[in-house]
């Protein structure tokens, strides 16, 4: 038995529109889809900017590490040269001490 004011048929999900609601206007549906799309675009643009900044920071860090590495290589070369000179000097001194 139906009572006045109750819809006929199976119950509708909460978000489903009723028949008596106005249909969307031509531009209304597009606007509803554009807002989430525009938000997504803005979010992606922000994420891209963050990634670019992070990439720049990493490049700067790599440049600093590369410079430090080169400086250490130069220092190592100088130290090896000094060690070789000291070794030669020690060998010369020992040979002078052994020969009277």
Token pair of 60, please?
């700067």
CA gap 55, 73 in Å, rounded = 27
CA gap 38, 30 in Å, rounded = 12
| pLDDT tens for each residue of 14-58 | 555 555 556 656 556 666 667 889 999 999 999 999 999 999 999
pLDDT computed for residue 64 by the predictor: 98
CA gap 65, 25 in Å, rounded = 60
Task: Specify whether the CB–CB gap between 8 and 2 falls below 8 A.
Answer: yes
| pLDDT tens for each residue of 69-91 | 999 999 999 999 999 999 999 99
Identify the CA nearest to 77 among candidates 85, 66, 88. 85
State the residue for tokens 């060998």: 91
């Amino acid at each position: 038995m139906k009572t006045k004011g109750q819809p006929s048929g199976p119950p509708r999900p909460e978000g489903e529109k009723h028949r008596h609601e106005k249909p969307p206007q031509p531009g209304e549906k597009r606007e509803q889809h554009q807002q989430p799309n525009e938000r997504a675009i803005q979010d992606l643009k922000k994420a891209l900017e963050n990634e670019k900044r992070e990439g720049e920071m990493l490049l700067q860090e790599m440049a600093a590490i590369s410079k430090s590495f080169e400086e250490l290589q130069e220092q190592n070369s100088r130290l090896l040269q000094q060690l070789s000179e000291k070794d030669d000097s020690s060998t010369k001194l020992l040979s002078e001490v052994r020969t009277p």
